[in-house]
Chain A
Amino acid sequence: MSDNAAIRTENLNLFYTGGHASQALKDINIAFPANRLTTIIGPSGCGKSSLLKSLNRLHDIHQNTRIEGEVYLGGEPVYQSRRPVPDIRSRIGYVSQKPTALPMSIYRNVAYGPRIHRSLGKAELDDLVETYLRKVNLWNEVKDRLHSPAAQLSVGQIQRLSLARSLAVEPEVLLCDEVTSALDPISAQKVEETLLQLKEDYTIIMVTHLMHQVERLADHVVFVYLGEVVEAGEARTLLNHPGKEATRRFVSGHAMPDVALRATA
Protein backbone atom coordinates (compact mmCIF):
# COMPACT_ATOMS: atom_id res chain seq x y z
CA MET A 1 0.00 0.00 0.00
CA SER A 2 2.87 2.39 0.71
CA ASP A 3 3.63 2.31 -3.05
CA ASN A 4 0.55 4.35 -3.91
CA ALA A 5 0.65 6.38 -0.70
CA ALA A 6 0.53 10.11 -1.35
CA ILE A 7 1.85 10.80 2.10
CA ARG A 8 2.92 8.58 4.96
CA THR A 9 4.43 8.90 8.40
CA GLU A 10 7.24 6.94 10.00
CA ASN A 11 7.53 6.68 13.79
CA LEU A 12 6.03 10.12 14.16
CA ASN A 13 6.02 11.53 17.70
CA LEU A 14 4.80 14.97 18.66
CA PHE A 15 5.46 16.69 21.99
CA TYR A 16 3.97 19.92 23.26
CA THR A 17 6.75 21.36 25.40
CA GLY A 18 5.01 24.46 26.77
CA GLY A 19 3.44 24.93 30.20
CA HIS A 20 1.43 21.69 30.06
CA ALA A 21 4.03 19.46 28.50
CA SER A 22 2.55 16.36 26.93
CA GLN A 23 3.01 13.88 24.13
CA ALA A 24 0.21 14.42 21.61
CA LEU A 25 1.23 11.77 19.06
CA LYS A 26 2.84 8.40 19.76
CA ASP A 27 4.68 6.38 17.13
CA ILE A 28 2.36 7.11 14.25
CA ASN A 29 3.02 4.85 11.24
CA ILE A 30 0.31 5.45 8.73
CA ALA A 31 -0.04 5.75 4.95
CA PHE A 32 -2.62 7.89 3.21
CA PRO A 33 -3.52 6.44 -0.20
CA ALA A 34 -3.31 8.71 -3.25
CA ASN A 35 -6.47 9.98 -4.92
CA ARG A 36 -8.66 8.83 -2.07
CA LEU A 37 -10.41 10.64 0.71
CA THR A 38 -9.17 9.53 4.10
CA THR A 39 -10.97 10.61 7.25
CA ILE A 40 -9.19 10.81 10.57
CA ILE A 41 -11.70 10.11 13.31
CA GLY A 42 -11.58 9.95 17.08
CA PRO A 43 -12.96 11.65 20.16
CA SER A 44 -12.07 15.29 20.67
CA GLY A 45 -8.64 15.94 22.15
CA CYS A 46 -7.20 12.64 20.91
CA GLY A 47 -4.70 14.29 18.56
CA LYS A 48 -6.48 14.49 15.18
CA SER A 49 -5.59 18.13 14.51
CA SER A 50 -2.09 17.55 15.86
CA LEU A 51 -1.60 14.69 13.39
CA LEU A 52 -2.93 16.75 10.48
CA LYS A 53 -0.68 19.72 11.21
CA SER A 54 2.39 17.53 11.56
CA LEU A 55 1.92 16.45 7.94
CA ASN A 56 2.61 19.96 6.54
CA ARG A 57 5.00 21.10 9.27
CA LEU A 58 2.51 23.57 10.66
CA HIS A 59 3.78 22.88 14.17
CA ASP A 60 7.08 24.49 13.15
CA ILE A 61 5.53 27.94 13.41
CA HIS A 62 5.15 27.56 17.17
CA GLN A 63 8.13 27.43 19.48
CA ASN A 64 6.64 24.99 21.99
CA THR A 65 6.52 21.81 19.92
CA ARG A 66 9.00 19.03 19.18
CA ILE A 67 8.63 16.43 16.46
CA GLU A 68 10.45 13.13 16.03
CA GLY A 69 10.15 10.74 13.12
CA GLU A 70 9.48 11.50 9.49
CA VAL A 71 6.75 12.24 7.01
CA TYR A 72 7.17 11.24 3.37
CA LEU A 73 5.41 13.17 0.65
CA GLY A 74 5.47 11.21 -2.59
CA GLY A 75 8.52 9.34 -1.22
CA GLU A 76 10.39 12.53 -0.33
CA PRO A 77 11.12 13.37 3.30
CA VAL A 78 9.23 16.38 4.63
CA TYR A 79 11.28 17.04 7.76
CA GLN A 80 14.83 15.93 6.84
CA SER A 81 14.67 17.92 3.64
CA ARG A 82 17.07 20.40 2.12
CA ARG A 83 14.22 22.33 0.55
CA PRO A 84 12.86 25.46 2.21
CA VAL A 85 9.82 24.64 4.34
CA PRO A 86 7.46 27.00 2.41
CA ASP A 87 8.22 25.05 -0.78
CA ILE A 88 7.20 21.83 0.96
CA ARG A 89 4.08 23.38 2.46
CA SER A 90 2.96 24.66 -0.92
CA ARG A 91 2.63 21.01 -2.00
CA ILE A 92 0.22 20.31 0.86
CA GLY A 93 -2.97 22.35 1.15
CA TYR A 94 -4.57 23.00 4.53
CA VAL A 95 -8.03 24.27 5.45
CA SER A 96 -8.58 25.04 9.11
CA GLN A 97 -11.55 24.41 11.34
CA LYS A 98 -12.32 28.12 11.57
CA PRO A 99 -13.24 29.64 8.21
CA THR A 100 -10.53 32.19 7.43
CA ALA A 101 -10.55 35.02 4.93
CA LEU A 102 -7.22 36.67 4.21
CA PRO A 103 -7.57 40.46 4.70
CA MET A 104 -7.97 41.23 1.01
CA SER A 105 -10.49 40.86 -1.81
CA ILE A 106 -12.15 37.60 -2.81
CA TYR A 107 -10.12 37.62 -6.03
CA ARG A 108 -6.81 38.19 -4.23
CA ASN A 109 -7.61 35.45 -1.72
CA VAL A 110 -7.52 32.90 -4.54
CA ALA A 111 -4.77 34.58 -6.57
CA TYR A 112 -2.41 35.20 -3.63
CA GLY A 113 -0.75 31.77 -3.46
CA PRO A 114 -0.36 31.18 -7.21
CA ARG A 115 1.06 34.69 -7.68
CA ILE A 116 3.78 33.98 -5.17
CA HIS A 117 4.76 30.59 -6.54
CA ARG A 118 4.44 31.21 -10.28
CA SER A 119 4.64 34.21 -12.55
CA LEU A 120 1.24 34.59 -14.13
CA GLY A 121 -0.25 37.20 -16.44
CA LYS A 122 -3.47 39.01 -15.71
CA ALA A 123 -5.55 36.85 -18.08
CA GLU A 124 -4.10 33.60 -16.71
CA LEU A 125 -4.78 34.78 -13.18
CA ASP A 126 -8.39 35.69 -14.03
CA ASP A 127 -8.86 32.23 -15.52
CA LEU A 128 -7.31 30.56 -12.53
CA VAL A 129 -9.48 32.45 -10.05
CA GLU A 130 -12.62 31.51 -11.97
CA THR A 131 -11.56 27.88 -12.32
CA TYR A 132 -11.00 27.39 -8.61
CA LEU A 133 -14.03 29.37 -7.51
CA ARG A 134 -16.11 27.14 -9.81
CA LYS A 135 -14.43 24.05 -8.40
CA VAL A 136 -15.75 24.88 -4.94
CA ASN A 137 -19.18 25.97 -6.25
CA LEU A 138 -18.65 29.58 -5.21
CA TRP A 139 -18.28 31.30 -8.58
CA ASN A 140 -21.95 32.04 -9.15
CA GLU A 141 -22.33 33.53 -5.69
CA VAL A 142 -19.35 35.91 -5.91
CA LYS A 143 -18.66 36.60 -9.58
CA ASP A 144 -20.19 40.09 -9.36
CA ARG A 145 -18.17 41.16 -6.35
CA LEU A 146 -14.78 39.57 -6.86
CA HIS A 147 -13.02 42.72 -5.72
CA SER A 148 -14.89 43.32 -2.48
CA PRO A 149 -13.36 42.23 0.84
CA ALA A 150 -13.57 38.48 1.40
CA ALA A 151 -14.38 39.10 5.06
CA GLN A 152 -17.84 40.25 4.03
CA LEU A 153 -18.83 36.77 2.83
CA SER A 154 -20.79 34.38 5.05
CA VAL A 155 -18.80 31.82 7.03
CA GLY A 156 -19.97 29.04 4.74
CA GLN A 157 -18.78 30.97 1.70
CA ILE A 158 -15.49 31.79 3.41
CA GLN A 159 -14.92 28.11 4.08
CA ARG A 160 -15.40 27.29 0.39
CA LEU A 161 -13.15 30.25 -0.47
CA SER A 162 -10.50 28.74 1.81
CA LEU A 163 -10.78 25.49 -0.15
CA ALA A 164 -10.39 27.38 -3.45
CA ARG A 165 -7.41 29.32 -2.07
CA SER A 166 -5.64 26.11 -1.03
CA LEU A 167 -6.41 24.29 -4.28
CA ALA A 168 -5.20 27.22 -6.40
CA VAL A 169 -1.64 26.51 -5.25
CA GLU A 170 -2.12 23.05 -6.85
CA PRO A 171 -1.10 20.94 -3.87
CA GLU A 172 -0.62 17.18 -4.11
CA VAL A 173 -2.52 16.60 -0.88
CA LEU A 174 -5.32 18.57 0.76
CA LEU A 175 -5.68 18.59 4.56
CA CYS A 176 -9.08 19.55 6.02
CA ASP A 177 -9.61 19.97 9.76
CA GLU A 178 -13.28 19.63 10.72
CA VAL A 179 -14.08 22.06 7.93
CA THR A 180 -17.84 21.93 8.53
CA SER A 181 -17.86 22.19 12.31
CA ALA A 182 -18.23 26.01 12.41
CA LEU A 183 -20.98 26.05 9.77
CA ASP A 184 -24.77 25.93 9.85
CA PRO A 185 -26.29 22.71 8.43
CA ILE A 186 -26.98 24.14 4.97
CA SER A 187 -23.50 25.64 4.51
CA ALA A 188 -22.02 22.44 5.92
CA GLN A 189 -23.88 20.44 3.31
CA LYS A 190 -22.58 22.68 0.51
CA VAL A 191 -19.00 22.19 1.71
CA GLU A 192 -19.59 18.45 1.96
CA GLU A 193 -20.93 18.31 -1.60
CA THR A 194 -17.87 20.23 -2.77
CA LEU A 195 -15.57 17.75 -1.04
CA LEU A 196 -17.49 14.88 -2.61
CA GLN A 197 -16.74 16.36 -6.07
CA LEU A 198 -13.13 17.17 -5.21
CA LYS A 199 -12.30 13.69 -4.03
CA GLU A 200 -12.47 12.48 -7.64
CA ASP A 201 -9.26 14.40 -8.41
CA TYR A 202 -7.44 14.96 -5.15
CA THR A 203 -5.84 13.18 -2.24
CA ILE A 204 -7.82 14.52 0.69
CA ILE A 205 -7.15 13.91 4.37
CA MET A 206 -10.01 15.11 6.47
CA VAL A 207 -10.44 15.26 10.21
CA THR A 208 -14.00 14.87 11.40
CA HIS A 209 -15.86 13.65 14.41
CA LEU A 210 -19.16 13.27 12.55
CA MET A 211 -19.87 9.62 11.74
CA HIS A 212 -22.43 10.49 9.05
CA GLN A 213 -19.76 12.52 7.27
CA VAL A 214 -17.42 9.54 7.39
CA GLU A 215 -20.11 7.30 5.94
CA ARG A 216 -20.88 9.70 3.11
CA LEU A 217 -17.36 10.76 2.16
CA ALA A 218 -14.67 8.39 3.31
CA ASP A 219 -12.84 5.83 1.18
CA HIS A 220 -10.38 5.18 3.93
CA VAL A 221 -10.56 5.69 7.69
CA VAL A 222 -7.93 6.22 10.39
CA PHE A 223 -9.13 5.91 13.97
CA VAL A 224 -7.01 7.83 16.48
CA TYR A 225 -7.36 7.52 20.21
CA LEU A 226 -5.15 9.06 22.94
CA GLY A 227 -2.51 10.07 20.42
CA GLU A 228 -2.19 6.66 18.83
CA VAL A 229 -3.55 5.13 15.65
CA VAL A 230 -5.77 2.33 16.87
CA GLU A 231 -6.91 1.10 13.50
CA ALA A 232 -6.82 2.15 9.84
CA GLY A 233 -8.29 0.71 6.70
CA GLU A 234 -10.91 0.68 3.96
CA ALA A 235 -13.95 2.66 5.11
CA ARG A 236 -16.55 -0.07 4.53
CA THR A 237 -14.54 -2.71 6.31
CA LEU A 238 -13.56 -0.53 9.24
CA LEU A 239 -17.06 0.82 9.80
CA ASN A 240 -18.86 -2.52 9.42
CA HIS A 241 -16.29 -4.86 10.92
CA PRO A 242 -14.07 -2.90 13.26
CA GLY A 243 -11.13 -5.00 14.42
CA LYS A 244 -10.68 -3.41 17.82
CA GLU A 245 -13.08 -2.91 20.70
CA ALA A 246 -12.28 0.83 20.98
CA THR A 247 -13.04 1.35 17.30
CA ARG A 248 -16.31 -0.53 17.61
CA ARG A 249 -17.38 1.60 20.55
CA PHE A 250 -16.52 4.88 18.80
CA VAL A 251 -18.03 3.93 15.45
CA SER A 252 -21.28 2.80 17.05
CA GLY A 253 -21.53 6.08 18.95
CA HIS A 254 -20.72 4.82 22.44
CA ALA A 255 -19.28 7.31 24.90
CA MET A 256 -15.50 7.10 25.03
CA PRO A 257 -13.64 7.65 28.30
CA ASP A 258 -12.85 11.35 28.22
CA VAL A 259 -9.37 12.09 27.00
CA ALA A 260 -8.78 14.95 29.39
CA LEU A 261 -9.86 12.82 32.35
CA ARG A 262 -7.59 10.02 31.25
CA ALA A 263 -4.67 12.39 30.87
CA THR A 264 -4.95 13.75 34.40
CA ALA A 265 -5.82 10.42 36.03
Chain B
Amino acid sequence: MNRYTKQTLVESLIRLSMALVVGVLALIIGMTLYKGGLVLWNQPEVVITAPGPMYLLGGSGGFLHAILGSFAIVLPATLIATLLALAVAMYLQTDYCSERFARAVNLLLYVLWGTPAIVYGVFVLTLLIVMEARASLLAALVAVTLLQFPIIARFMDEALRSVAANLKESGYSLGLTRLETMKITLKAALPGLTAGVIMGFARGLGDGAAVLFTAGGGINMPNELDDSATTLPILIFQQASSPYPSVRDDAFAAAFVLMMLVLGLIVVSKLIANHFSRYTQDH
Protein backbone atom coordinates (compact mmCIF):
# COMPACT_ATOMS: atom_id res chain seq x y z
CA MET B 1 0.00 0.00 0.00
CA ASN B 2 1.10 3.51 -0.84
CA ARG B 3 2.50 5.46 2.19
CA TYR B 4 0.00 8.23 1.65
CA THR B 5 -2.95 5.86 1.26
CA LYS B 6 -1.88 4.22 4.48
CA GLN B 7 -1.84 7.58 6.22
CA THR B 8 -5.29 8.49 4.85
CA LEU B 9 -6.69 5.14 5.93
CA VAL B 10 -5.35 5.27 9.49
CA GLU B 11 -6.33 8.89 9.93
CA SER B 12 -9.84 8.19 8.71
CA LEU B 13 -10.16 5.45 11.33
CA ILE B 14 -8.91 7.84 14.01
CA ARG B 15 -11.45 10.47 12.95
CA LEU B 16 -14.22 7.88 12.96
CA SER B 17 -13.41 6.71 16.49
CA MET B 18 -13.23 10.31 17.62
CA ALA B 19 -16.65 11.09 16.14
CA LEU B 20 -18.11 7.95 17.72
CA VAL B 21 -16.83 8.73 21.21
CA VAL B 22 -17.74 12.41 21.11
CA GLY B 23 -21.16 11.55 19.67
CA VAL B 24 -22.01 9.07 22.41
CA LEU B 25 -20.79 11.43 25.13
CA ALA B 26 -22.78 14.31 23.65
CA LEU B 27 -25.84 12.08 23.53
CA ILE B 28 -25.57 11.06 27.19
CA ILE B 29 -24.82 14.53 28.46
CA GLY B 30 -27.31 16.15 26.09
CA MET B 31 -30.16 13.82 27.07
CA THR B 32 -29.50 14.26 30.79
CA LEU B 33 -29.25 18.01 30.50
CA TYR B 34 -32.36 18.21 28.30
CA LYS B 35 -34.64 15.93 30.29
CA GLY B 36 -33.26 17.06 33.65
CA GLY B 37 -33.34 20.69 32.56
CA LEU B 38 -36.98 20.37 31.56
CA VAL B 39 -37.95 19.12 35.03
CA LEU B 40 -35.90 21.78 36.78
CA TRP B 41 -37.29 24.49 34.48
CA ASN B 42 -40.86 23.60 35.42
CA GLN B 43 -40.27 23.02 39.13
CA PRO B 44 -36.91 24.46 40.18
CA GLU B 45 -37.99 24.20 43.81
CA VAL B 46 -37.22 20.45 43.92
CA VAL B 47 -33.58 21.33 44.50
CA ILE B 48 -34.30 23.21 47.71
CA THR B 49 -37.28 21.25 49.01
CA ALA B 50 -37.19 18.34 51.42
CA PRO B 51 -39.02 15.23 50.20
CA GLY B 52 -42.59 14.60 51.30
CA PRO B 53 -43.43 11.23 52.92
CA MET B 54 -44.54 9.71 49.57
CA TYR B 55 -41.79 11.35 47.50
CA LEU B 56 -40.42 8.15 45.95
CA LEU B 57 -43.96 7.01 45.10
CA GLY B 58 -44.67 10.08 43.02
CA GLY B 59 -45.64 12.26 45.98
CA SER B 60 -44.75 15.90 46.62
CA GLY B 61 -41.42 17.42 47.66
CA GLY B 62 -37.90 17.65 46.29
CA PHE B 63 -34.52 15.98 46.75
CA LEU B 64 -32.69 18.42 49.02
CA HIS B 65 -32.04 15.47 51.37
CA ALA B 66 -29.88 13.79 48.72
CA ILE B 67 -27.93 16.94 47.86
CA LEU B 68 -27.20 17.64 51.52
CA GLY B 69 -26.55 13.94 52.13
CA SER B 70 -23.98 13.88 49.32
CA PHE B 71 -22.10 16.78 50.84
CA ALA B 72 -22.43 15.53 54.41
CA ILE B 73 -20.81 12.26 53.33
CA VAL B 74 -18.38 13.27 50.60
CA LEU B 75 -16.92 16.50 52.05
CA PRO B 76 -15.60 14.95 55.28
CA ALA B 77 -14.62 11.78 53.42
CA THR B 78 -12.54 13.85 50.98
CA LEU B 79 -10.93 15.71 53.84
CA ILE B 80 -9.93 12.51 55.65
CA ALA B 81 -8.80 10.77 52.45
CA THR B 82 -6.76 13.86 51.50
CA LEU B 83 -4.93 13.96 54.83
CA LEU B 84 -4.14 10.24 54.71
CA ALA B 85 -3.12 10.42 51.04
CA LEU B 86 -0.89 13.42 51.65
CA ALA B 87 0.94 11.65 54.46
CA VAL B 88 1.41 8.52 52.37
CA ALA B 89 2.49 10.43 49.25
CA MET B 90 5.03 12.43 51.25
CA TYR B 91 6.45 9.28 52.78
CA LEU B 92 6.76 7.61 49.37
CA GLN B 93 9.29 10.20 48.15
CA THR B 94 12.98 9.32 47.98
CA ASP B 95 13.77 11.50 50.97
CA TYR B 96 11.84 9.16 53.24
CA CYS B 97 11.73 5.65 51.82
CA SER B 98 13.49 3.40 49.34
CA GLU B 99 12.44 3.22 45.70
CA ARG B 100 11.65 -0.46 46.11
CA PHE B 101 9.19 0.18 48.93
CA ALA B 102 7.61 3.08 47.03
CA ARG B 103 7.12 0.88 43.96
CA ALA B 104 5.46 -1.84 46.03
CA VAL B 105 3.09 0.59 47.74
CA ASN B 106 2.24 2.25 44.43
CA LEU B 107 1.37 -1.12 42.93
CA LEU B 108 -0.95 -1.69 45.85
CA LEU B 109 -2.54 1.73 45.37
CA TYR B 110 -3.15 0.96 41.70
CA VAL B 111 -4.88 -2.28 42.67
CA LEU B 112 -7.04 -0.43 45.19
CA TRP B 113 -7.81 2.20 42.56
CA GLY B 114 -8.97 -0.49 40.17
CA THR B 115 -11.07 -2.25 42.79
CA PRO B 116 -14.79 -1.81 42.04
CA ALA B 117 -16.49 0.59 44.44
CA ILE B 118 -19.05 -2.06 45.37
CA VAL B 119 -16.23 -3.99 47.07
CA TYR B 120 -15.63 -1.10 49.47
CA GLY B 121 -19.37 -0.95 50.06
CA VAL B 122 -19.55 -4.65 50.85
CA PHE B 123 -16.44 -4.43 53.04
CA VAL B 124 -18.00 -1.73 55.19
CA LEU B 125 -21.32 -3.59 55.17
CA THR B 126 -19.54 -6.67 56.51
CA LEU B 127 -18.04 -4.57 59.30
CA LEU B 128 -21.49 -3.20 60.08
CA ILE B 129 -22.92 -6.71 60.35
CA VAL B 130 -20.06 -7.83 62.60
CA MET B 131 -20.54 -4.79 64.81
CA GLU B 132 -24.32 -5.20 64.68
CA ALA B 133 -24.64 -1.60 63.50
CA ARG B 134 -27.01 -0.08 60.96
CA ALA B 135 -26.20 1.52 57.66
CA SER B 136 -25.53 5.19 58.37
CA LEU B 137 -23.96 8.42 57.27
CA LEU B 138 -20.77 7.43 59.13
CA ALA B 139 -20.58 4.02 57.44
CA ALA B 140 -21.01 5.62 54.01
CA LEU B 141 -18.37 8.19 54.90
CA VAL B 142 -15.90 5.40 55.67
CA ALA B 143 -16.71 3.57 52.42
CA VAL B 144 -16.25 6.75 50.36
CA THR B 145 -12.98 7.54 52.14
CA LEU B 146 -11.70 4.07 51.23
CA LEU B 147 -12.76 4.64 47.63
CA GLN B 148 -11.11 8.06 47.37
CA PHE B 149 -7.88 7.35 49.21
CA PRO B 150 -5.99 5.38 46.50
CA ILE B 151 -6.99 7.87 43.80
CA ILE B 152 -5.86 10.90 45.73
CA ALA B 153 -2.71 9.16 46.97
CA ARG B 154 -1.64 8.13 43.45
CA PHE B 155 -2.28 11.64 42.10
CA MET B 156 -0.33 13.20 44.95
CA ASP B 157 2.58 10.80 44.70
CA GLU B 158 2.82 11.51 40.98
CA ALA B 159 2.61 15.27 41.59
CA LEU B 160 5.38 15.17 44.21
CA ARG B 161 7.51 12.87 42.08
CA SER B 162 7.28 15.26 39.14
CA VAL B 163 8.81 18.07 41.16
CA ALA B 164 12.32 18.39 39.76
CA ALA B 165 15.06 16.80 41.82
CA ASN B 166 17.09 19.99 41.62
CA LEU B 167 14.37 21.90 43.48
CA LYS B 168 14.84 19.58 46.45
CA GLU B 169 18.61 19.80 46.12
CA SER B 170 18.35 23.59 46.15
CA GLY B 171 16.24 23.42 49.28
CA TYR B 172 18.53 21.03 51.12
CA SER B 173 21.62 23.04 50.15
CA LEU B 174 20.17 26.13 51.78
CA GLY B 175 20.34 24.14 55.00
CA LEU B 176 16.66 23.33 55.11
CA THR B 177 15.47 20.30 57.05
CA ARG B 178 13.62 17.46 55.36
CA LEU B 179 10.31 18.92 56.49
CA GLU B 180 11.16 22.44 55.31
CA THR B 181 12.26 21.07 51.96
CA MET B 182 9.04 19.05 51.77
CA LYS B 183 7.06 22.26 52.31
CA ILE B 184 8.69 23.76 49.22
CA THR B 185 8.13 20.56 47.25
CA LEU B 186 4.45 20.60 48.26
CA LYS B 187 4.11 24.18 47.11
CA ALA B 188 5.72 23.41 43.76
CA ALA B 189 3.37 20.44 43.37
CA LEU B 190 0.22 22.32 44.37
CA PRO B 191 -1.46 22.23 40.94
CA GLY B 192 -1.08 18.45 40.81
CA LEU B 193 -2.06 18.00 44.45
CA THR B 194 -5.24 20.02 43.91
CA ALA B 195 -6.09 18.00 40.84
CA GLY B 196 -5.80 14.84 42.95
CA VAL B 197 -8.15 16.13 45.65
CA ILE B 198 -10.70 17.26 43.07
CA MET B 199 -10.55 13.95 41.22
CA GLY B 200 -11.12 12.12 44.50
CA PHE B 201 -13.95 14.48 45.41
CA ALA B 202 -15.65 14.08 42.03
CA ARG B 203 -15.31 10.30 42.20
CA GLY B 204 -16.77 10.23 45.71
CA LEU B 205 -19.63 12.50 44.72
CA GLY B 206 -20.55 10.49 41.66
CA ASP B 207 -20.17 6.98 43.03
CA GLY B 208 -23.24 4.98 43.96
CA ALA B 209 -21.92 1.50 44.67
CA ALA B 210 -19.85 2.36 47.76
CA VAL B 211 -22.82 4.03 49.48
CA LEU B 212 -25.63 1.82 48.19
CA PHE B 213 -25.54 -0.63 51.12
CA THR B 214 -23.84 1.60 53.64
CA ALA B 215 -25.73 4.91 53.71
CA GLY B 216 -29.20 3.58 54.42
CA GLY B 217 -30.91 5.55 51.68
CA GLY B 218 -34.06 6.78 53.47
CA ILE B 219 -35.80 10.01 52.58
CA ASN B 220 -34.87 11.71 55.84
CA MET B 221 -32.60 14.76 55.86
CA PRO B 222 -29.01 13.93 56.95
CA ASN B 223 -28.86 14.51 60.65
CA GLU B 224 -26.88 12.30 63.01
CA LEU B 225 -23.71 10.41 62.11
CA ASP B 226 -25.38 7.11 62.99
CA ASP B 227 -28.58 7.96 61.16
CA SER B 228 -29.29 6.83 57.62
CA ALA B 229 -28.60 9.23 54.74
CA THR B 230 -28.98 9.37 50.96
CA THR B 231 -26.71 10.67 48.25
CA LEU B 232 -27.54 11.83 44.73
CA PRO B 233 -26.36 8.59 43.05
CA ILE B 234 -28.50 6.51 45.45
CA LEU B 235 -31.47 8.76 44.73
CA ILE B 236 -30.95 8.44 40.98
CA PHE B 237 -30.86 4.67 41.41
CA GLN B 238 -34.08 4.69 43.45
CA GLN B 239 -35.87 7.04 41.05
CA ALA B 240 -34.70 5.35 37.85
CA SER B 241 -35.99 1.97 39.05
CA SER B 242 -39.39 3.40 40.00
CA PRO B 243 -42.56 2.28 38.18
CA TYR B 244 -43.89 5.86 38.19
CA PRO B 245 -42.94 7.86 35.04
CA SER B 246 -42.89 11.19 36.92
CA VAL B 247 -40.40 9.76 39.45
CA ARG B 248 -38.23 8.39 36.64
CA ASP B 249 -38.19 11.85 35.07
CA ASP B 250 -37.01 13.31 38.36
CA ALA B 251 -33.97 11.05 38.13
CA PHE B 252 -32.78 13.20 35.26
CA ALA B 253 -33.14 16.32 37.39
CA ALA B 254 -30.96 14.74 40.08
CA ALA B 255 -28.43 13.67 37.43
CA PHE B 256 -28.45 17.22 36.08
CA VAL B 257 -27.55 18.60 39.53
CA LEU B 258 -24.85 15.96 40.01
CA MET B 259 -23.28 16.74 36.64
CA MET B 260 -23.26 20.46 37.38
CA LEU B 261 -21.61 19.87 40.76
CA VAL B 262 -18.86 17.77 39.18
CA LEU B 263 -18.40 20.31 36.38
CA GLY B 264 -18.17 23.09 38.95
CA LEU B 265 -15.52 21.15 40.87
CA ILE B 266 -13.42 20.65 37.78
CA VAL B 267 -13.62 24.33 36.87
CA VAL B 268 -12.56 25.26 40.40
CA SER B 269 -9.62 22.86 40.23
CA LYS B 270 -8.49 24.39 36.93
CA LEU B 271 -8.68 27.89 38.42
CA ILE B 272 -6.67 26.85 41.46
CA ALA B 273 -4.12 25.04 39.31
CA ASN B 274 -3.72 28.09 37.07
CA HIS B 275 -3.23 30.35 40.04
CA PHE B 276 -0.47 28.24 41.56
CA SER B 277 1.23 27.34 38.32
CA ARG B 278 2.54 30.91 38.14
CA TYR B 279 5.04 29.76 40.73
CA THR B 280 6.18 26.65 38.95
CA GLN B 281 8.95 26.76 36.42
CA ASP B 282 8.27 25.54 32.92
CA HIS B 283 11.81 25.96 31.68
Contact = CB atoms under 8 A, between A and B. Distances in A.
Instruction: Note whether A and B form a binding pair.
Output: yes
Contacts of B169: 53, 58, 61, 94, 96, 100
Highest count of chain A CB atoms <10 Å: which of B99, B170, B176, B280 = B170
Contacts of B164: 98, 100
Interface stretch (B51-59, B180-188, B228-236): B180-188
Contact of B98 (A63, A149, A169): A63
A89 B172 contact: yes
Interface residues of B, number: 30
B246 interface: no
A98 B166 contact: yes
Given A61-B94, A151-B279, A158-B281, A102 B176 contact: no
Given A63-B99, A96-B166, A103-B184, A116 B174 contact: yes
B280 A151 contact: yes
A86 B177 CA distance: 6
A163 to B, nearest CB: 11
A93 B279 contact: no
B170 A96 contact: yes
Highest count of chain A CB atoms <10 Å: which of B97, B175, B276, B279 = B175
B171 A117 contact: no
A103 B280 contact: yes
The secondary-structure label for the interface of chain A is mixed
Interface residues of A, number: 40
B173 A56 contact: yes
Interface in B152-171: 164, 166-171
Contact of B173 (A62, A94, A97, A103): A94
B175 A151 contact: no
Interface of B: 94-95, 97-99, 164, 166-177, 180, 184, 187-188, 190, 276, 278-283
26 contacts: A53-B169, A56-B173, A61-B168, A64-B98, A84-B177, A86-B175, A86-B177, A89-B173, A89-B175, A92-B173, A96-B169, A97-B166, A98-B164, A98-B166, A100-B166, A103-B190, A104-B187, A113-B174, A116-B175, A149-B278, A151-B278, A155-B283, A165-B170, A165-B174, A166-B173, A175-B173
Q: 8 shortest A-B CB distances, which residue pairs?
A: A90-B175, A94-B173, A103-B279, A113-B174, A103-B188, A96-B166, A151-B281, A86-B175
Given A53-B169, A102-B184, A169-B175, 16 more contacts: A63-B97, A64-B98, A84-B177, A86-B177, A96-B170, A100-B164, A100-B167, A100-B281, A112-B174, A113-B175, A116-B175, A116-B180, A149-B278, A149-B279, A158-B281, A175-B173
